Amino acid sequence: MSLFSSFRRAEVHARAGERCEYCHLPTRGQVATFPIDHIIPKSTGAGHDLENLALACPPCNAHKWTAVEWSDPITGRLAPLFHPRRDEWNEHFRWVVGYVLAGATPSGRATVAALQMNNSDMVELRRLLAGLDLFPESEGI
């Protein structure tokens, strides 16, 4: 039995625009169901309310697990992970040549590193999806 009702799941999907709220991988063209991430882990007592939920692709969800902060690869200091309800995606991330996602802030860089957003499989998947017009954000790269 799912932790979330079909109504709640539909709310999360619609708000996310049918894409991972971390790396922006679209649900379209994927065979795996995208999990619903607890932005602040439920193990800390955080709830299942809509404000604590985010749509995440399976790789982002698996790598994030219960993390809420990670080391910024440039400064070496801990930085809070990108928070889809509190933070603006475009302020923290930007696309660079080759379908690679770069962090534009300490939180963005920490999130790219923690969620391993640029592993070779993800970069190749973005390239393939772009070729099928299923990854509109790649336009202009």
User: What share of residues in the chain are helix, strand, coil (percent, to 5)?
Assistant: 35, 15, 50
Least distance from Zn ion to the Cβ atom of residue 94, Å: 16
112 binds Zn ion (CB under 5 A): no
Torsion-angle region of 76 (φ positive above 0: left; ψ -120 to 50: alpha; else: beta): left
Kindly write down the DSSP assignment for every residue of 31-64, as one continuous string. SSPPPEEESS-GGGT---SGGGEEE--HHHHHHH
The answer to whether 131 touches 87, Cβ cutoff 8 Å, is no
Least distance from Zn ion to the Cβ atom of residue 30, Å: 10
Site track for Zn ion across 59-78, x = CB under 5 A: -x------------------
Least distance from Zn ion to the Cβ atom of residue 20, Å: 3
CB closer to Zn ion, 79 vs 122: 122
114 binds Zn ion (CB under 5 A): no
Q: Extract the tokens encoding 79.
A: 């930085």
22 binds Zn ion (CB under 5 A): yes
Binding site for Zn ion (CB under 5 A): 20, 22-23, 25, 57, 60
